[in-house]
Amino acid sequence: MTRENLYTSGDEFLLPSGEVYVGNYHVHITGGAMVGRSHVSTPHDRLTPLTEQVRAMIESIQEQLRQRQDQGASTITSSVSRSSSSSSSSSGGGGGSSSPSSSY
């Protein structure tokens, strides 16, 4: 289960390389925040929250996903962005990592 179509303007996450991440992301029920508009079966980077507040937000989303899983839903698409920017990236995110600790 995932919450998809989220966007960060660069003040929330780091990539495994330590670089600030700007772009679309999704939250996976067990994988946490990950690169890309939606979850795919190919490896893609996990994102590391920059603050305790962002970490708590991701955990809250994961809890909501677990509750919805119990109700039988499989994917939640969100059109609401936490970004204060009025524009969003048209990139679907991407990249990948072969490292098991940084990709899902």
Cα(26)–Cα(64) distance, integer angstroms = 14
CA torsion angle for 78, 94, 101, 27 (degrees, to 10)?
A: 0
Cα(94)–Cα(104) distance, integer angstroms = 13
Q: Write the pLDDT tens digit of every residue in 7-42.
A: 999 999 999 999 999 999 999 999 999 999 999 999
Give the predicted TM-score (pTM) of the model.
0.70
Q: Write the pLDDT tens digit of every residue in 83-92.
A: 433 333 333 4
Spell out the domain ranges in the chain: 2-77
